[in-house]
Amino acid sequence: MSTTTQTAYLYKHAHPFLPRTIKAASGIWLTLENGQKILDATGGAAVTAIGHGDLRVKEAIIAQLDKVAYCHPGFYQTDIAQDLATFLVSTTHGRMARALLTGSGSEAVEAAMKLARQYFLEQSPPQKSRHHFIARQGSWHGCTIATLAMGDFKVRKAIFEPILPENVSRVSACNSYRGMREGETTEAYVARLAQELDDEFQRIGPDNVCAFIAEPISGSPLGCMPSVPGYFTAVKAICDRYGALLIFDEVMVGMGRTGTLHAWEQEDVVPDIQVIGKALGAGYIPISAVLANERVISAFKNGSKYFVHGQTYQSHPAACAAALQVQRIVQSDGLLDNVRNMGMYLEQSLRGRLAKHPHVGNIRGRGLFWGIEFVANKGTKAPLDPSLKVADRIHQKGMSEGYDIAIFQATGSAEGGWNGDHILLAPPYIVTKSDVDEITDRVCRVVEDVFTELQERGDIREVDSRVESRKT
């Protein structure tokens, strides 16, 4: 059976490591076909927020299927889609006005791009020239053509170039580890990035810019990088100055992952358009959403009243039922508190155990979303030789027997060069202290063993032992 699956399965067909077959999943554990149990320290890729196999979600899905499994979103609506949209808008305390319910993160980002574009066409007179998007280096917004073009994950994008559309340019991401200069203050760094963005608006022509899009905390390929305080306030001020929209791609970090339901709640700014995915339905059924504020919605109300968009599976009733139940569980089980508490404990454990490792350059994150960046030399921050594929090795070894832990490898190159080797940890929000201990133990063992192997083979030579271990 599994042989048939693997030969017919297109994804990674020719990849040296075919995906393993999972037979069961419960809580934070995955069981493979050989009985091996793997600790899901990445929640898929920041998806399985409430853990696997929650029967309350199953019951909610079945109850919805008993009522209505599908209707065309253009012809009919359902109570469950209305309920989910109302719930999502209510969680923003008036900051967002409407929600569009879509299928995947990529689809939602594309819908957000179209919404932003049409917003300017709804103006009187229509601002037709505003079709340029400014994005950030080292970003990932999805794998469809438009979102791939918007993002900057070179290893996933290079073979498809040239990619349409061409109306995207990029500025530096906010990267406190690699972007900040020696001795530079946070304020000076923010001012420098703000100037770069302002210059880009001037280069494109402010009246040609539709929106600036950013992940509030970069996921892959930058490897979980929160922005420094004040960065998004400065960015929003520039967007406002030039009348462009601010889009937050919270597909990876939204819906609780970073300790608040919306990642923007920790940034002192509210975007005009917000995209959520992954943790919304927590993996039970694919679902994503686009939220838009009153500024955007009122343009439609005063204009054509019609967003030119529509997908067959938009607002899918069973997916909406799953998502609403997931969100009720996050609230009723106090999971946001757990994300904050266990997040602090995970940070403390990772720093305590790994900060002094000679190849751990940086540990950063928020809530239950943590990245570890590996370097050849802590003093110079020189990345490891990309051909060593260190993050991939950690990922592969983690899944092998004896280690049994799923670790996400967020490695990539971007404009300006190789972004280095990072791993991401994003365990389900239900983790306990002993789960966090187990995660830290296993991650440390995998990391130790990978570097020991590389050192024994003589693959890593450059370690500056004079560099004092410092808080990373």
Q: Which of 64, 106, 118, 325 binds ligand PLP (CB under 6 A)?
A: 106
- Residue range at the interface with ligand PLP (CB under 6 A); choices 75-83, 136-144, 257-265, 454-462: 136-144
Query: Would you tell me how many other CB atoms lie within 10 Å of the CB of residue 337?
Result: 11
- For position 223 contacting ligand PLP by CB under 6 A, the verdict is no
Site string for ligand PLP, 40-59 (x = CB under 6 A): -----x--------------
- State the burial class of residue 461 (Cβ atoms within 10 Å of its Cβ: 0-12, 13-18, 19+): exposed
Query: Cα–Cα distance between 410 and 45 in angstroms, integer?
Result: 10
Query: Cα–Cα distance between 97 and 89 in angstroms, integer?
Result: 6
* Residue bearing tokens 């109306």: 167
Which of residues 142 and 358 has its CB atom nearest to ligand PLP in the complex? 142
- For position 249 contacting ligand PLP by CB under 6 A, the verdict is yes
- For position 251 contacting ligand PLP by CB under 6 A, the verdict is yes
Query: Cα–Cα distance between 119 and 299 in angstroms, integer?
Result: 6
The helix (run of H) or strand (run of E) holding residue 290 is strand 288-292
Q: What is the DSSP string of 226-278?
A: EPPTTHHHHHHHHHHHHT-EEEEEETTTTTTTTSSSSGGGGTT---SEEEE-G
State both tokens at 355.
């900060």
Minimum distance from residue 298 beta carbon to ligand PLP (Å): 27
Query: Cα–Cα distance between 84 and 303 in angstroms, integer?
Result: 26
Contact by Cβ (8 Å): 277, 251: yes
Which of residues 85 and 426 has its CB atom nearest to ligand PLP in the complex? 426
Which of residues 157 and 378 has its CB atom nearest to ligand PLP in the complex? 157
Contact by Cβ (8 Å): 210, 120: yes
Minimum distance from residue 170 beta carbon to ligand PLP (Å): 15
Which of residues 105 and 259 has its CB atom nearest to ligand PLP in the complex? 105
- For position 227 contacting ligand PLP by CB under 6 A, the verdict is no
Contact by Cβ (8 Å): 105, 142: yes
Query: Cα–Cα distance between 362 and 78 in angstroms, integer?
Result: 47
Which of residues 281 and 383 has its CB atom nearest to ligand PLP in the complex? 281
User: Considering only CA atoms, which of 437, 462, 263 is closest in space to residue 365?
Assistant: 263
Minimum distance from residue 224 beta carbon to ligand PLP (Å): 11
Minimum distance from residue 143 beta carbon to ligand PLP (Å): 6
Which of residues 46 and 384 has its CB atom nearest to ligand PLP in the complex? 46
Q: Which of 105, 179, 281, 365 binds ligand PLP (CB under 6 A)?
A: 105
- For position 267 contacting ligand PLP by CB under 6 A, the verdict is no
Which of residues 140 and 370 has its CB atom nearest to ligand PLP in the complex? 140
Query: Cα–Cα distance between 351 and 181 in angstroms, integer?
Result: 23
- Residue range at the interface with ligand PLP (CB under 6 A); choices 92-100, 187-195, 246-254, 260-268: 246-254
* Residue bearing tokens 């020696």: 182
- For position 104 contacting ligand PLP by CB under 6 A, the verdict is yes
- For position 78 contacting ligand PLP by CB under 6 A, the verdict is no
Q: Which of 141, 262, 340, 422 binds ligand PLP (CB under 6 A)?
A: 141
- Residue range at the interface with ligand PLP (CB under 6 A); choices 138-146, 263-271, 358-366, 387-395: 138-146
Which of residues 99 and 384 has its CB atom nearest to ligand PLP in the complex? 99
Query: Cα–Cα distance between 253 and 239 in angstroms, integer?
Result: 22
Query: Cα–Cα distance between 135 and 355 in angstroms, integer?
Result: 32
Pairing of strands 37-40, 273-276: unpaired
Minimum distance from residue 116 beta carbon to ligand PLP (Å): 15
Which of residues 232 and 242 has its CB atom nearest to ligand PLP in the complex? 232
Binding site for ligand PLP (CB under 6 A): 45, 104-106, 109, 140-142, 215, 219, 249, 251-252, 277
